[in-house]
Amino acid sequence: MTVETEAQPRAGMNERLGAQVKAIVLKRLGDNTLNLPLPSPVVTRCLQAIRDPAMSVKDAAALVEQDPALAARVTRSANSAAHATLDRVRSIPQALTRIGLEKLRSILVELSAQRLFDSRDPRIAEALRKVWEHSLAVGMLARDVAALCNVPDSEAAYLAGLLHDVGKPVVAWGLLEAERALVGTRTNFWIEASAWTDVVQRVHRPVGVAVAERWSLPETASQAIADCTEYDSAERLSVTNCVRFANALAKREGLYLGEVDRDDVDALLMIGRSMLGIDENVMGRLTHRLRERLHVAESP
């Protein structure tokens, strides 16, 4: 005879709810009827155009200039400590020359993703802020891990890290829509916060994969979304393995929404160190000033 604890029916309920939300979100993603906060048309056009290797800085600048928010972001990046030394940039072509088209791509994807992590509902906004903070941390750590392990294209590692949980806000939007349909209000969670997190956690991966397909995200990002918990030993020094390691590191640092299984995290770090050849000393320094760096990256 089994004794049913209080947590068991709750888990079953969350599982059923998760399955329903997943089905609804995937269907609506497929129909293009999910009411997501999409990036501006200029950002979308820019993302498409930048895939063309023949695209010139002049062409890119012409597009960027059409979106004031994007133009401001590009200028800010060009004038930041990461790039600036000369006089402040005065034009978008000048800014793009300074930061390069790869950086522009990062900014575009970041802008697109960041809109998803915003909500007018304060509790959802707070939960999504934590997811965004985790994603940003994983992106930054993955970039460092890739650079230190000699994995080509550390910028791809940053993007893949940033997007590895992109399914979470989409599921959150799906839940919010369901709530509106049910109770016609968005003042409070219609389910408990812990159950909300649990449902998001259960179904975000397949939803994220569908988003990656729909947005034609880079292959490395799709791989990181699909599986961020088991390394691929066939290709040790891969961008995705860097993201997996970074994900475990961010969790160990407490930058995560939801419960963390410490044993799992420790195992992932131990495997990752050997998989990627990360020296113990370097490992200790990877998270040095991480919260400060996150703060700098998040500041407007």
Partner 1 sequence: MPRLLTVDDSRAIRTIVTKFAAELGLEVDEAEDGEQGLAKLEECQFDLILLDVTMPVLDGPGMLAKLRERGDQTPVIMLTSESKRSIVAGAMKLGIQDYILKPFKAEELRAKVNKVLNLDGTAGEAEAVAPPAARAPEARAAAPLPPGEVTASSAARQFIDILVIDDMENVAKKLRTLVPPHVTSNAVSTAQSALNQCRERVYRVVLLDLDIPDVNSLALLNQLRMLQPHAAFLALTLRTAGDAQKDALQGGFDDVLFKPFDKESIDDLLMRYFDNQELLVTEDNVLRVGPFTGREDKMDRYFSRLAQLLDGAVEKVAAACFDEAVIDVSQIPLRPERTPRLLLEAQRSCKKTGLDLRVIATAEGQKLLSSFSETSKLTVSVARG
Q: How far is the CB of 149 from partner 1 (least distance, A)?
A: 10
Residue (178 or 260) nearer to partner 1, CB = 260
User: What is the DSSP annotation of 149-216?
Assistant: TT-S-HHHHHHHHHHTTTHHHHHHHHHHHHHHHHHS--SS-SS-HHHHHHHHHHHHHHHHHHHHHHTT
Residue type, 122: P
Provide, rounded to whole angstroms, the least separation between the CB of residue 265 and partner 1.
9
Cα within 13 Å of Cα(188), Cβ side: 4
Pick between residue 191 and residue 297 the one whose CB is nearest to partner 1: 297
Token digits of residue 2: 């089994």
Least distance between partner 1 and beta carbon 25 (Å): 27
Residue 219 is given by DSSP the state H
Minimum CB distance to partner 1 smaller for 184 or for 300: 300
Q: Quote the least distance from Cβ 113 to partner 1, whole Å.
A: 18
Nearest to partner 1 of 10, 236 (CB atom): 236
Residue 100 CB, nearest distance to partner 1 (Å)? 4
Tokens standing for residue 279: 């020296």
> DSSP alpha helices (H): ranges in the chain?
7-31, 41-50, 57-64, 68-79, 92-99, 101-116, 122-148, 154-163, 167-183, 193-214, 219-226, 239-252, 262-276, 280-285, 290-298
Whether the Cβ atoms of residue 274 and residue 231 lie closer than 8 Å to each other: no
Q: How far is CA 264 from CA 121, 220, 269, 277, in A?
A: 32, 23, 9, 19
- Using the minimum distance from each CB to partner 1, give the nearer residue, 120 or 288: 288
- Residue 120 CB, shortest distance to partner 1, in Å, is 32
Say how far apart CA 287 and CA 109 lie, in whole Å.
24
Q: Which residues form the interface with partner 1 (CB under 8 A)?
A: 80-88, 97-100, 102-103, 140, 143-144, 147-148, 150, 154, 229-231, 233, 236, 263-264, 266-268, 270-271, 273-275, 277, 279-282, 284-286, 288-289, 293, 296
Q: Closer to partner 1 at the Cβ: 178 or 271?
A: 271
Q: Smaller CB distance to partner 1: residue 46 or 140?
A: 140
Q: How far is the CB of 17 from partner 1 (least distance, A)?
A: 26
